[in-house]
Amino acid sequence: MNTIATPMTVLASGLEFPEGPAFAPDGTLWCVELKGGALVEMRGGQIHRHAVGGAPNGLVFARDGSAWFCDADAGAIRCYEPLTGECRLVAGGDGTLDGPNDLAFDGAGRLVFTCPGNSRAEPTGTVWSLDREDRLCLLADGLFFPNGLAFSADGTRLYIAETYRQRVWIGAYDGVSGMWINPAPWAELGGPIGPDGMAFGEDGLLHVAVFGQSAVKAVAPDGSVTGGLDLAGARPTNCCFDPSGRLGLVVTEAERGEVLAFPFMGRGAALLGGWNG
């Protein structure tokens, strides 16, 4: 594997554990502050914090512009309306969900999300889906800290990072039933901690933020690591692509509290049921 030091731009700094970068339908970049209880909007070179409380983690936008996020502290999926400032509980909050972490819409509009809880030492992590009627379905269990996730461009495969086994799983995804079928280990990313959030590029490579490694690794379709980006901070948490291609790959990094952009990385693969540019 060849990692490279590359031109990049610091879009924001001084954040309290940034996570979950995502672009709204109007092209605005957002992320969350896990330890700051806020959704962070980056507009016109300025940072605007939207206080939501709890411990917001993964973030994704629906086509209507609403921001859906995991609240690890409340054990809930919540939805924030940027136009009104309203924040509502969608699922969980009653002990059913243990520390929701990252999330993505499938092609049918279901929300798929990971729940690692406290599964660093025991395989108690789970993966769930939430359908349009707000019904929960357990997709997988017995995992050591399931974390970032991504769908293939055609929606037929689901990839999930198992951080504390330092690997990414792959499984077929049935868009009709919403089930994850025959998941199996796919890529070994190494430690000292492991893979976190991830996003597909237009070239079919999966770009994985590896927490503890100061790197975002590029993984080929056969699961081999083919390259990556070196970072100054040791704790990249997640990444996403700018649908316009202007900012390229955007990475959140927790050690330095930064949001970074790598414009030369171009556009990513289109997302599915949420906002896809």
Quote the tokens at residue 165.
């086994």
Question: For the chain, how many structural domains are there in total?
Answer: 1
In a domain? residue 252: no
Average pLDDT over residues 254-258: 98
- Per this entry, what is the length of the chain? 277
pLDDT digits (tens, 9 = 90+) for 17-45: 999 999 999 999 999 999 999 999 999 88
Q: Residue 56: name the closest of 10, 13, 12, 22 by CA.
A: 22
In a domain? residue 57: yes
pLDDT digits (tens, 9 = 90+) for 51-100: 999 999 999 999 999 999 999 999 999 999 999 999 999 999 999 999 99
pLDDT at 273 over 70: no
The DSSP element (H or E) to which 170 belongs, if any, is strand 167-174
In a domain? residue 98: yes
What pLDDT band is residue 1 in, cutting at 50, 70 and 90? Answer: very low
In a domain? residue 250: no
What pLDDT band is residue 7 in, cutting at 50, 70 and 90? Answer: confident
User: Containing domain of residue 181, as a range?
Assistant: 15-200
Give this prediction's pTM. Answer: 0.95
Over pLDDT 90: what percentage of the chain?
90
In a domain? residue 156: yes
In a domain? residue 109: yes
**CATH number, domain with residue 31:** 2.120.10.30
C-alpha of 35 from chain center? 16
In a domain? residue 184: yes
pLDDT of the residue at 259: 98
pLDDT of the residue at 2: 47
Strand 206-211 vs strand 215-219: parallel, antiparallel, or unpaired?
A: antiparallel
In a domain? residue 209: no
